[in-house]
Structures are given as C-alpha cells and as structure tokens.
Structure 1
Amino acid sequence: MSLSSAISIAQQAFSNTAQQTAIVSKNIANAGNADYSRRLALLGSTANGAQVVSIYRAQNEALLKQSIAGMGEASGQARLREGLELMKSALGGNNYETAPSKLLADFRNSLQTFAATPGNKSIAATAVSDAGDLADSLNKASRSVQDMRENADKEIALEVDKLNGLLAEFEKANNAVKAATAQGTDPNDALDERDKILKQVSEIVGISTTTRGNNDTVIFTTDGTVLFENIPRSVTFASQNTYDATTVGNKIYVDGVPIAAGTGADTTAKGKLAALVQLRDDVGPKFQSQLDEIARGLVTLFQEGGQPGLFTWGSPGIPPVGIVPGMASKITVNALAKANPLMLRDGGFDGTSNNPTGNAGYTDLLDGFVNKMGENMAFDPLSGLDSSSNIMNFATSSVGWLEQFRKTASTADDSKQALLSRTAEALSKQTGVSIDEELSLLLDLEQSYKASAKLVSTVDAMMAALMEAVR
C-alpha cells in the first residue's frame, strides 16, 4: 500500500465517521420524538474502500398501519366516552341526583305524603314545588342534550377544517417524498413528516393507505372512499347554528360520499368525526326521545277532562301515544297549581272541581294519581325502552340505559387505549431511538476515529522519515 493510498483511506474513514456521528447525534436529539424514525448510516465497499452509501430509516409498515388503525379506533371511542360523561354530569354525576327519575320518585313521595294529610296546605305546596322541580329537570336535561348536539356539530366543523389543512400538508410531504425518491436523494425527513400527518389524520377519520411507485401514498377512509390521491379530496360540512329536538344535523362528505356514524357503545367509529356524528344523531336524539316520553307520560297521567292538568306543555289537549320531539323542553307546572296548591287535591284545571265543598279529607284524586304512576302505560318503542311500563320504571330505565351505554363505552375505551399503547410500544422498539444503543455506537465510532488518526499519525511519521532520508 502506498502512502498516498493510506492517506486516501484515512480521509475516507474520517468522512465515514463524520457522517455516522452526525446521524447518531440526530438520533439522540430526537430520542423523545414519537414521530421520528431512527436512522443508520450504511457502509458499502467502493474502489476507495468502505464508505457511507445510504442512510437507512428504521420502519415497519405492518406495525405502522396497525398503529394508525388503532389511533382511529381509540380516538373515536374516547370521544364517544367523553360525550357520555358530559351527559352523565348534566344529570348530577355518579348518583344521577338531578335526573328526572330521581325527582320523579321525590314527587311521588310528596304525593303520598299529601294524600296522608290532604288538608295541609304547606304539604300541598311542597308537592307542587316537587312537581316543578321534576319539570325543571326535564327542561334542563333536554337542554343539556341539545347543547351536547350543538357542541358536537361545532366540533365537527373544526375537525373538518383541521382535516382539510392536514391533507394540504400531506400533499406537500408526499410530493417531497416522491421527488427525493425519484432523484435518489434522502427522503427520510419527508417520510417522517408524512407519517406524522397520517397519524393526525387517523385521529379525525379512520383511514387506510397504500403505497405506489416512487413512494407515492394514497389514503382511503375505512369505508373505501378516496381521501387523497395525488391531491386532497374535498371534505365538506355545513354547520348548524342552534339545535333543538327537531333539528337534523348535516352530513360530512368526503368527495361527495357521506361519513357514516359510529354505532354501539363499543363503537364502530374510527376517528372523532364518526363518533361526533354518533353523539349528535344517535345517542343524543335517543335520550331526548326518552325524556320526551317521560314528559308525555306526566301530562297524560295528570290530565283532567282530556286537557292538561297539573302538567302543561304549551299546547292544548293530550298528545297521543308516540314521541313528541322536544316535549321535555316545554313541560311545566300549571300556573293555577302554583297559585292554589290545593287544586292538586281538588282538581278543577278543566274548570270543574272534583271537591266543590272543599272537603279537607278528600283524597280520591291524589290516590288515583299515585296509583296511575304505578300502572303500565304505552310508550313509543322508538325510545329504545319497553313499550309497556309504568312511568316510574320507564324513567329509571332511561337512566339505566344511559349508564349502561356509558359503562360499556368506558370499558371499550380502556381496552382500545391499552391496545394502542401496546402497538405504539412495539412500533417504538422497531423504529424508535434507544439512547443506550446510540451511545454504544458513539463509542465504536470513537474507536474508529482513533484508528484513523493513528493511521494518519503513522503516515505522517513515515513521510517525515522519508523527507529526512532525502536530505
């Protein structure tokens, strides 16, 4: 080996070490970055000896796709759970203290107490007040449901805007990957950015991907609609300003195809959008229909002469069997009962008193009301509960339905989050940065540098000896 060859080899070794050290330093700097994949400088044999021929980016496509799918499922389940937790809080939290079922039971107890002492006006006033609390709880629960739907609608609009922005960013990253691949330059930073965007997109809408020539990626929604191919597809949504029980939310469209809502407590929703649509168009309306049926039941049970009695709902007459959208938001206690609580005992809301003499021991109406509250009546099966039940059990079943739905959603959320965590951990082991490994590699590079330096030092000494000999 000539001295010039030795110098050339040493120079190449220094160059290799410098590139490898730069890669290791970059890895260490991104050790805490979940969106960074570890790099490794690969050496190859050339005419001038070993040299860095490419930069390898750690990747595992199967785990990445599984992780992206898991993010969509976990995101959708978490958003459904969050919405159900808000509905639970609106009804008084863990014990549902302000739920209509609780206040209905309190009202019935007041009726029974009043029936035991029908001449006591203060107890009559308490019973009417409890009836007012019951009506208020239905009003507030109804408003909470519609507020939840309205907020979900607004959040959908924000998430759609965010999704369109991410797709525009994905186009840039994808173009950068294709260009670098075609030109033979390093595409790794662009690949990291593209994978990062894919993860963010999957939290909004469930996706799958396929990769074509030049590392070009196409994105589909989980139902097969193209979300991105060369350019982003249009995602559109028209938000509603306000919501009541009669409002029907608008659909979200991807390239003209509507996004389907999630179904079930262990929801099929992948991504926030499907879960938000489920809350807005399925869970909220279902619970609203149960509240409306409770309100209809109260107006029906306490009617007099085919007209509303103790409870009114802003319309004449008694509604037939069937859901009256928004009735729970309108029910109130008759102003006549507030002015004269003894009308609850005597009747007269229809203009004819059942106790014209004002007998203080008259209990026929009160006993009848208490009994009717324990008798079965017809309810609309579209409410999702029994079509034949007494109003007490129906109201209790409504809270039970919500709590069971919430509990199942919570359990499913824990499971999906755990699965996502395990998948992310497995992916991190394959593509993430280990500080211990990088520091170990740095020590190896230090030894390589020392060897190269020793070679240069030896060549330098030989050159010096040669020059001395020439003199």
Structure 2
Amino acid sequence: MSLTSALNTAQSILSNTSTQTSTVSRNISNAGAENYVRRSATLASNGWGAQVVNISRAANDVLFRDSLVSTSSASGQNALLDGIDQIRALIGGNDFEKAPAALMGSLRDSLQLFASQPSNTSAAQGAVADAILLADGIRQSSIDLQKMRLQTDTEISRQVEDLNKLLGEFEVVNNDVRNATRSGQDASDALDTRDGILKSISEIIGVTVVKRPNNDIALYTKEGATLFETVPRDVTFARTNGFDANTVGNAVLVDGVPLGAGEGGATTASGSLGALLQVRDTIAPTYQSQLDEMARALVTTFREVSQTGGTDLPGLFTWSGGTVPPDGTIVPGMATSLAVNAAYVQPSGNAFLLRDGGANGADYVVNVEGGAGFSSLIEGFVTQMSEPVNFDVNAQIGASASLFDFAASSVGWMESLRQQANTAAENKNASYYRTTQALSNATGVNIDEEMAKLLELEQSYKASARIITAVDEMINTLLSVR
C-alpha cells in the first residue's frame, strides 16, 4: 500500500468514525424522547475502504402498525369503561345506595310497617316519604343521565376538533417526509414527528395505514372512509344543545361516511370516538329505558282502580302524562317526570289515602267503611311489587319480571356490562403495553448498546490516528534522506 493510499484510508476512517460518533451521540441524547427511532450510519465500500452513504432509521412497519391497532383498541375500551363508571356513579357507585332497587326495598319495608299499623300517622307519612325518595331517585337519575349524554356529546365534539387539528399537522409533516425522500435528504426527524401524530390520531379513531411512493401514506377508517389521502378529508360533527330520552345524537362523518359506534362490553370501538358514540347512543339510552320502565311499573302498580268501572288513574306515583300507560311498552322519558302525587304529601295532602284510596275522588275509595284498621290496600301494594309485570324487551332485562326483580336485574345488567368492560380493558391495556414494548425494543435506543458502540468507535479512531502518525513518520523519514 502506498503512503497516499494509507493516508486516504485513515482519513476515510476518521470521517466515518466522526459521522458514526455523531449518530450514536444523537441516539444517546434522545434516548428518553417520545417517538424517537434509533439511527445508524450505513457504510458502503469505496476505493479507500468504506464511506457513510446514509443515515438509516430503525423503523419496523409491522410492529408500528400493531402498536397503532393496540392503541386504538385500548383507547376505545378505556373510554367505554369510563362512561359506564359515570353511569354507575349516578346510582351510588359500588354500593348502589341510590339505585332504584335499594330505594324500592326501603319503600316495601315502610309499607309493611304501615300495613301492620294502619292507623299510625308516622307509619303512613314514613311510607309516603320513602315513596318520595324513590320517585326523586329515579327522576334525578334520568335527568343526570341525559346531562351525561350531553357531556359525552360535547366530548365527541372536542375530540373531532382535535382530530381535525391533528390531520392538519399530519399533512404538513407528511409533505416534509415526501419532499425529503424525493430529494434524497434525511427524513428521519419528519418521520418521527409523523409517527407521533399517527399515534395521537389512533387514540381518537382507528386507522388503516397504506404506504405509497416517497414514504407518503394514506389513512382510512375501518368503515373504509378516507381520512387522509394527500390532504385531510373533512371530519364533521354537529353538537346537540340538549338531550332528553327522545333525542338522537348526530353522527360523526368522515368524508361523509358515518363513524360506527362500538358494540358490547368488550367494545368493538377502535379509538375513543366510537366508544363515546356507544355510550351516548346505546348504553345510556338502554339504562334510560330501564328507568322509564321502572317508572311506568310504579305508576301501574300503585294506580287507583275505579270502584264504579271508570278509568284507572295514577295513585301514589304519577307523571306528566297523568295516565296509567299501556302494559309492556316503554314511555320514553317517563322517568324524568316521575313524582309522588301531591294528594298524599303533607301539609296539604293526606298520607292515609295510601291506606284508603280516593286520591282521584270518591269513586276510587277502597276503604268505604273508613276503618282505621283497614290494611288490605296497603298489603295489596306490597304483594303487587313482587308479582310479575310485563316489560318492554327493548330495556334488555326481559319480557316479564316483578318490579323488585326488574330493578335488581337493572343493577345486574350494569354490573355485568362493567365487568366485561373492565376485563377487556385489562386485556387490551396489557396488549398495548406488549406491542409498544416490542416496538420500543426493536426501534428504540438502548443506552448500553450505544455506549458499547462509542467504545468501538473510539478504538477505530485510535487506529486511524496511529496510521496517520505512522504515515507522517514515514514521510518525514523520506524527506530527511539526502
């Protein structure tokens, strides 16, 4: 090897070592940075040994796509679980002390006490007071449930705004990636940024990523709607100003295609938006139907029956419709107006109407003799609370059950749904952790490995320095020869 060749080789090694050292140092300094993907200098042979031809990025498309899927799945499941927990909180959380089933139990106990002491004023007023607590509890749960639907609708609107903002940012960085790739420049930083935005998008809505020439990508929803293709597509949503039991919330439209709501306790929602739609449009309305059916059954059970063949009318429990509704059919929103008939409530009302009947006039008096020991009507109410009632199957409890059993099954329905959601959340969060950890292991920075590379590069630098020193000595020796 000539001295010139040796010098060129040493200079090439120094140049390569400098670039490699810079790359390793950059990896180390970004070891804790979110979305940073490890870089490495790629060498290729040349006339002097080797040279750095490009800085490569340790991307793994398969693992990255798996991480997007698990991110969307976990985000959707967590959003659903949060929504279910909000509904459970309306009825007292884990203890269910505000649940209709618990309040019905208190009413039954006070009715049984009143039946055993039908002339006792305190017992009569106590039964009416427990009826008021029950009616207020169902009514307030219904009101709060619709407020929760409104809050969920507002959250959907906020997330749609966030999604559109992210898509705008995605367009900018995607153009940077395409332009850098097309011109042969290093696109690593832009790719890191784009991956981070994709992760944020996938938390809101599940996406299918399609790679195109020049590192360009297009995004599609699982419904097949185009979310991004060169430019962002419109994601639109119209907020609803108020909710009641009859209100149907607006759809989220992606390029004109409605986004599907999730289904089941282990929700099919991919991203939080689909889960929020499920809470607003499926779970909350189902519980509203159960409240409405309980309200209807209470009005029916405690109705006053005309003793002269007239129309049955609401008795202890009444509602804004002022009638006894048909059997087995949901009256949407009935729970929101459920109340105890003022005729029973002190100071202007008479609690003993619960014993005697007659809140709707003389034709409805059962205790016609006016006996203070009369208890048949009260006992009849207690019995009817445990007898089968026809319910609307759309409430998802069953077609026939006693009032007590229906109320208890409503709690059971909620608990079963939450248990499914909680188990699925644990599984999906574990899957999310595994996939993100696998991606990090494959593409992230390992400090120990990078430090070991620095030591190797240090040895390479020393070797090239020794070559240069040796060449310098040889040249000096040649120059000193006369």
**Taking structure 1 as the reference length, what is the TM-score of the superposition?**
0.97
How far the C-alpha of 1:241 sits from its partner, in A, is: 1.6
Structure 1 residue corresponding to 2:325, chosen from 319, 325, 333: 319
**1:87 deviation in Å?**
1.1
Structure 1 residues 313-322 or 97-106, which shifts more?
A: 313-322
- Of residues 356, 360, 376, the one that matches 2:388 is 376
Q: Distance in 2 between matches of 1:152 and 1:448?
A: 61
Say which SS state the counterpart of residue 181 (structure 1) adopts. helix
Do the aligned residues in 2 keep the contact of 1:307 with 1:318 (CA within 8 Å)? yes
In the alignment, which residue of structure 2 is the partner of 1:332? 339
1:112 is matched with: 112
Q: Does 1:268 align with 2:268?
A: yes
Residue 357 of structure 1 and its aligned partner are, at CA, apart by 5.0
* Separation (CA, whole Å) in 1 of partners of 2:92 and 2:144: 12
Cα deviation, residue 47, structure 1? 2.5
Q: Secondary structure at the match of 1:281?
A: helix
CA contact (8 A) 1:34 1:432 kept: no
Determine the C-alpha separation between the residues in 1 that align with 2:227 and 2:88.
35
Partner of 2:359: 349
Shift of 1:90: 1.7
Q: Any residues of structure 2 matched to 1:40-189 within 5 Å, and which?
A: 40-189=40-189
- What is the Cα-based RMSD across aligned positions, in Å? 1.4
How far does residue 51 in structure 1 lie from its aligned partner after superposition? 1.1
Deviations 1:376-423 (A, max 9, x none): 111111111111111110111111101100110110111111111111
Structure 2 counterparts to residues 234-273 of structure 1, below 5 A: 234-273=234-273
Alignment of 1:416 onto 2:428: yes
How many matched pairs? 470
> Tell me, what secondary structure is at the counterpart of 1:185?
coil
Kindly provide the amino acid, as one letter, of the partner of residue 59 in structure 2.
Answer: Q
SS at match of 1:184: coil
Name the counterpart of 2:309: none
The amino acid that maps onto 2:392 is D
> Aligned letter for 2:322?
P
- Give the secondary structure class of the aligned counterpart of 1:87: helix
Q: Which residue of 1 aligns with 2:439?
A: 427
C-alpha distance after superposition, 1:185-235 (max 9, x if no partner) = 111111111111111111111111111111111111012111111111100
Matches of 2:335 and 2:33, distance apart in 1: 51
* CA–CA distance in structure 1, aligned partners of residues 144 and 412 of structure 2: 18
Q: 1: distance between equivalents of 2:30 and 2:149?
A: 41
1:307 and 2:318 correspond: no
Question: Could you tell me which amino acid in structure 1 is paired with residue 126 of structure 2?
Answer: T
Unaligned runs of 5+ in 1: none
**2:220 partner SS:** strand
Q: Quote the Cα distance in structure 2 between the aligned partners of 1:38 and 1:147.
A: 48
- 3-state DSSP of counterpart to 1:103: helix
Write out per-residue CA displacement over residues 124-157 of structure 1, whole angstroms, 9 at most, x where no aligned residue: 1111111011011101211232122111101110
**2:356 counterpart letter in structure 1:** D
CA displacement, residues 60-113 of structure 1 (integer Å, 9 cap, x when unaligned) = 211111111111111111100111111112211112111011101111111011
Q: 1:457 aligned to 448, 457, 469, which one? A: 469
Matched position secondary structure for 1:362: coil
Give me the whole-angstrom Cα distance separating, in 2, the residues matched to 1:284 and 1:430: 42
- 1:248 shift after superposition: 0.8
The AA in structure 2 aligned to 1:398 is: S
| SS of 1:265 mapped into structure 2 | coil
Which residue of structure 2 lines up, in the alignment, with residue 361 of structure 1? 373
**Counterpart in 2 of 1:20?**
20
2:414 match: 402
Q: Give the whole-Å Cα distance in 1 for the aligned partners of 2:9 and 2:151.
A: 67
Following the alignment from structure 1 to structure 2, what is the Cα–Cα distance between the partners of residues 92 and 219?
42
Q: One-letter code of the match for 1:30?
A: N
Paired residue secondary structure (1:240): coil
Distance 1:463 1:346 in 2: 124
Distance 1:94 1:201 in 2: 34
Amino acid at match of 1:399: V
1:313 CA displacement: 0.5
| Residues 232-276 of structure 1, C-alpha deviations (whole Å, 9 max, x = no match) | 110000011221111110000001000011111111100011100
Contact persistence 1:177–1:215 (CA under 8 A) = yes
Using the TM superposition, give the Cα deviation of residue 452 of structure 1 relative to its aligned residue in structure 2, in angstroms: 1.7
Deviation, 1:32, is 2.0
